[in-house]
Amino acid sequence: MSDFIATNVPKFTSLFTAMAAFFIILAVIFVVAGFVNGKIARPIALVVFLAPALLLLLAGLVIPTGRTIFFSFMNPNSDGFVGLENYAWIATDPGVRTVLFNTALWTIVTPLFTTALGLYLAVMLDRMRGESIPKSLIFMPMAISFVGASIIFKFMYEYRDPGDSQIGLLSAIVQAIGFGPSNWLLVKPLNTLLLMVVFIWTQTGFAMVILSAAIKGVPTDVLEASALDGATGWKLFRGVTFPMVRTTFVVVLATMVVASLKLFDIVRTMTGGNFGTSVLANEMYSQIFVQFDAGKGSALAVMLFLSVTPIFIYNIRSLKRERSSK
């Protein structure tokens, strides 16, 4: 440990020097801007406060996006234009078709299932005695990374020849009740659904916690009033509780849609995109970093970007609407 510190002292020194320099420059700018007054005071203040954020946004987001779009019209080495060839490849290649189909499947099945299950758990556990214990347990997988969870589930789906002792839980159970074990990750389209289980397992807790908070936000007088009017159980949920947490439900759903669109780690870890389970983000990675085709990879990245955008726009608009209605 002391060796590590000793050898890295120059690095840390330059790191801290750079950070200190950054803050000193900022402080100087702020002080100078503070002396300005009169008509130009406000525009200057705006520039001074916004410039760092805008600069970082430009360097970290706008320029890379532009470059990616630019590269998507170029050849694998990004040194010659190929027109729309990369997009034509996305539209026609049968392998990519599977990828797009899987991504669509992920974005429809996982968010709905995760959010619905989260809502169900939130409603059922609400005001139960000792509700925090099951809730904590359900929330816990959230602390495990996708890669970690994938490795755990890879062991659960592990396959050994029939008759051998199965080290995979799923095969062991199936074998114990008298069926032959199956090589789960090879069976299409079951394998994609089995990968989704990993996502659902880690994310349901998150959906549950957010929705549970929204349910707890429903005023008690409203609930009591509807109870007096005879609304209980399903009727109460459908007519009162759900409409009041609808916005939260949609936000959670949209978050899940975006997460499953961008999904990469589970597929990469469990199948590497083989056996017909690849998704958009995994294919993008393979194209750029395994096959060194920056053109096709960028085109896939642009596709991903385009499919995420409408959801973000919707999210921002519904947030705005909510704010203006309050």
Where do contacts with other proteins occur on this chain (CB under 8 A)?
6, 9, 75-76, 93-95, 159, 161, 183, 185-186, 188, 268, 272-276, 286, 290-293
> Please, are residues 248 and 257 in contact by the beta-carbon 8 Å criterion?
no
Q: Tell me the residue type at 239.
A: G
Give least dist CB 111 to other proteins, A.
27
Could you give the CA distance from residue 249 to residue 317 in angstroms, rounded to a whole number? 15
Nearer to other proteins, 203 or 277 (CB): 277
Give least dist CB 293 to other proteins, A.
5
Give least dist CB 187 to other proteins, A.
10
100: CB partners within 8 A, 6+ apart: 90, 280
Cis-peptide into 189, omega within 30 deg: yes
Nearer to other proteins, 111 or 168 (CB): 168
> Please, are residues 295 and 87 in contact by the beta-carbon 8 Å criterion?
no
Could you give the CA distance from residue 64 to residue 215 in angstroms, rounded to a whole number? 40
Q: For the purposes of burial, counting CB atoms within 10 Å of the CB of 186, is it exposed (0-12), middle (13-18) or buried (19 or more)?
A: middle
Nearer to other proteins, 113 or 285 (CB): 285
Nearer to other proteins, 61 or 88 (CB): 88
Backbone region of residue 148 per phi and psi (left: phi > 0; alpha: psi in -120 to 50; beta: other values): alpha
Give least dist CB 186 to other proteins, A.
5
Give least dist CB 275 to other proteins, A.
5
> Please, are residues 181 and 137 in contact by the beta-carbon 8 Å criterion?
no
Could you give the CA distance from residue 79 to residue 101 in angstroms, rounded to a whole number? 31
Give least dist CB 317 to other proteins, A.
39
Nearer to other proteins, 192 or 212 (CB): 192
Nearer to other proteins, 110 or 287 (CB): 287
Give least dist CB 290 to other proteins, A.
5
Closest CA to 241 of 263, 211, 278, 282: 211
102: CB partners within 8 A, 6+ apart: 192, 276, 277, 278, 279
> Please, are residues 250 and 319 in contact by the beta-carbon 8 Å criterion?
no
Give least dist CB 31 to other proteins, A.
26
Nearer to other proteins, 121 or 195 (CB): 195
Nearer to other proteins, 111 or 181 (CB): 181
